[in-house]
Amino acid sequence: MDIYIMEKAYKEYTRWCRQRLPEDLAAELCAIRGDENEIYNRFCKDISFGTSGLRAKMGAGSNRINSVTLRKASIGISRYLNEKGTKPELVIGFDTRNNSKEYAEIVAHEFADNGVDVYLFGEPTPVPVVSFAVRAMGVSGGIMITASHNTREYNGYKVYDHFENQIDDKLRKSNRR
């Protein structure tokens, strides 16, 4: 373990411990107190956008999928969409994984709170349906809460633009701000 990164991880862990967090995340943070490996793995970096969005293990930490990291991503995407000058609209879907519906609802509220009109599917939806809905409805883009082929401890946040394409470099960069 890199000592500099470990110090950064402990600082971030401490910052998270001081926040008002959902009960499940706060309990997880208490449970890993003193466990250097867990703290390092969960806080060594912020979760970052890959080819089609975010994908990671679910749980407490800046390098995990959870309500905090999904809100942060949604705020960044809201800013990006609002900069384009037209009223942004998004389609949001979710699969049958643990927490997917809850995460989709959290994300939908965050987008709505940040000036984005949201169309949230009411039941689990296959990825291609969200992609199709983006084009058919003529909206700004779509979000799909899924980790695709990854194992059950993972979840994800796929982002589609108005052409049904997955996230591009410009959008990825806007989320680093």
Q: What is the CATH number of the domain that holds 136?
A: 3.40.120.10
The Cα–Cα gap between 16 and 67 comes to 13
CA–CA dist 149, 159 (Å, integer): 16
Same domain, 108 and 140: yes
Q: Are residues 26 and 94 in the same domain?
A: no
Packing angle of the helix pair 67-82, 100-113 (nearest 10 deg): 40
Inter-CA distances, 158 with 19, 62, 73, Å:
27, 18, 11
- Which two tokens mark 52? 């089609």
Catalytic, out of 67, 78, 148, 174: 148
Rounded to an integer, the average pLDDT of 160-164 is: 73
Pairing of strands 89-94, 117-120: parallel
Tell me the average pLDDT across 114-125: 98
The first and second tokens of residue 133, run together, are 């809905």
Same domain, 53 and 99: yes
Whether residue 62 lies in the annotated active site: no
50 and 40 together in one domain:
no
Same domain, 149 and 78: yes
Environment class of residue 85 by beta-carbon count within 10 Å: exposed (0-12), middle (13-18) or buried (19+)? exposed
- Is the confidence at residue 172, as pLDDT, over 80? no
Tell me, yes or no, if the pTM score tops 0.75.
Answer: yes
Q: Which two tokens stand for residue 63?
A: 């390098």
The secondary structure of 73-128 as a DSSP string is: HHHHHHHHHHTTSS--EEEEEE-SSTTHHHHHHHHHHHHHHTT-EEEE-SS---HH
Spatial contact of 84 and 139, defined as CB atoms under 8 Å apart: no
Pair 165, 83 in one domain: yes
- Quick count: other Cβ atoms within 10 Å of Cβ 49? 22
Q: What is the mean pLDDT of residues 7-18?
A: 97
Q: What is the domain range of residue 19?
A: 1-45
Q: How many domains does the chain have?
A: 2
pLDDT band at residue 161, thresholds of 50, 70 and 90?
A: confident
d(Cα 110, Cα 75) in Å, to the nearest integer?
7
Q: Which pLDDT band, with edges at 50, 70 and 90, does 141 fall under?
A: very high
Whether 177 shows a pLDDT value over 60: the answer reads no
Per-residue confidence band for 166, with pLDDT thresholds at 50, 70 and 90? low
Answer yes or no: do 1 and 76 share one domain.
no
The pLDDT tens digits for 24-47 are 999 999 999 999 999 999 999 999
